[in-house]
Amino acid sequence: MTDQTAPDTLQQKLLERAAPGRAEFEDLVVVPIFALIVALVVGALVMLATAVDLPTIGRSYIALVQGSVGSLNALSETFTAAAPLVLAGLGLAIGFRTGLFNIGAEGQIVIGGLVAVMVGFSFSGLLWALHLPLALLAGAIAGALYASIAGALRAYTGAHEVISTIMLNLISYRILDYALRQPFIQREGRADPVSRSVLDSAELPQWLAWLDPNLRVHAGIFLVIGAVIFVYWLLFRTKIGFEFRASGKNPDAARYAGMRASLIIVSAMAAAGALAGLAGANQVLGVLDRATPGFSAGIGFDAISVALLGRSHPVGVLFAGLLFGALEAGGRQMQVDAGVSIDLIGIIQALIIVFIAAPLLVRAIFPWGFRRAESGSKE
């Protein structure tokens, strides 16, 4: 009897590891939902502590919903804000899955966006079907190459990617400042650092402009959907994706199995940089039409929160990016309708991350939400 049950037990364990269980579903879906609820409650308490009355708190949360999903224009702003966050977050998720804490998405966005702009205002007369893909590809390649610097330093010298990516972020700002002063990049007749405008043939089209020219959502949203599908396929359906995840789980075991650690590190960083570069290209080709100092607007740093909130899973990153995009779009409406400081949105975002990082605390606050899993484990 023991000989028969042992293989069954082993098979069951292998199946549990191969397929997501309820515990993983709870970490990916249930915990973030409860974390959002707690963050909104604590945010209301913070407003009460700052002498904001209950009716104003109610108006502010109503404005948050209306400004994010309450109208077609609100949805347009949510998707526009979410697109670069999801793209950069997907790149960071690849790094996290590989065991690399890449916090250089901001610099990769800057470099990718700058190169995309340069390609975008060059090649006049080129067809849209060629010019736009070329500009997007240039941004992705630039971001990949820039991120590969940190990957190579980690792989061949042991330099920690946290330090190197921080330094590369700072370097990217100075590269941008220098580039925007060059005659072949700076807009003619301008003394301030601003690039030439992207040509129409390299712009991401606003696909709802036929309804309302003020709807800013552009074709970059389809790029986001494609990136989510691609990253899911890369991580969970390819050999290199398996190597990424194996290296992230246990680098020593991965090396023992014959996986080349240096190649994995550089490849993961390059993939992350390519997606961050696409996020930068998304901004300059779809929203801004030019490059200026600070055009990245901290998206690369917010994307860290998006990747963490999404548990480094492509689908989770998509929903986390939409949530943060909704908070950004709704936060502006909160400020207008209720007179609440936009800083409150930053507080709510921080609280969400705090509770996401403490799932045991969320489970303690909402024990009934996890009761079925607990009873199942006892059986």
- What rounded mean pLDDT belongs to the chain? 85
pLDDT at position 350, please?
A: 79
Mean pLDDT across the stretch 46-59?
83
12 has pLDDT over 60: no
At 90, is the secondary structure helix, strand, or coil? Answer: helix
373 has pLDDT over 70: no
The letter for the amino acid at 99 is G
Mean pLDDT across the stretch 149-168?
93
Question: Which of the residue ranges 107-121, 124-138, 336-350 would you say has the lowest mean pLDDT?
Answer: 336-350
pLDDT at position 76, please?
A: 92
- The partner residues of 195 in beta bridges, in order of sequence, read 186
pTM of the entire predicted model: 0.85
Cα 213 to Cα 73, 76, 80, 130, 282: the distances in Å are 10, 11, 14, 25, 19
- The partner residues of 370 in beta bridges, in order of sequence, read none
pLDDT at position 26, please?
A: 67
Higher-confidence residue of 275 and 257: namely 275
The CA distance from 219 to 205, in Å, is 6
pLDDT at position 27, please?
A: 66
pLDDT at position 14, please?
A: 41
Mean pLDDT across the stretch 295-305?
91
pLDDT at position 125, please?
A: 85
**Treating both helix axes as pointing N-terminal to C-terminal, what angle do 314-337 and 220-237 enclose, rounded to 10 degrees?**
150
Other beta carbons within 10 angstroms of residue 83's beta carbon come to: 31
For residues 362 and 38, the answer to whether their CB atoms sit within 8 Å is yes
Q: With b meaning 16 or more CB within 10 Å and e meaning fewer, what string describes 176-191?
A: beebbeeeebbbeeee
Residue written as token pair 């977050």: 89
| 168-207 per-position pLDDT tens digit | 999 999 999 999 999 999 988 888 899 999 999 999 998 8
Written as six digits, the tokens of 161 are: 């990617």
Of the pLDDT bands very low, low, confident and very high (cuts 50, 70, 90), residue 29 is confident
Higher-confidence residue of 330 and 272: namely 272
Among 83-92, 95-104, 344-353, 359-368, top mean pLDDT goes to 83-92
19 has pLDDT over 50: no
- Give percent of the chain above pLDDT 70: 89
pLDDT at position 284, please?
A: 95
Residue 43 backbone dihedrals phi, psi, to 5 degrees: -60, -40
Among 48-52, 125-129, 255-259, 341-345, top mean pLDDT goes to 125-129
Higher-confidence residue of 4 and 42: namely 42
Mean pLDDT across the stretch 83-107?
94
- What single DSSP character describes residue 195? B
Domain ranges of the chain: 82-325
Q: What is the CA radius of gyration of the chain?
A: 23
pLDDT at position 258, please?
A: 78
177: enclosing H helix or E strand: helix 161-179
Cα 229 to Cα 17, 25, 244, 310: the distances in Å are 22, 19, 17, 15
For residues 110 and 246, the answer to whether their CB atoms sit within 8 Å is no
pLDDT at position 374, please?
A: 43
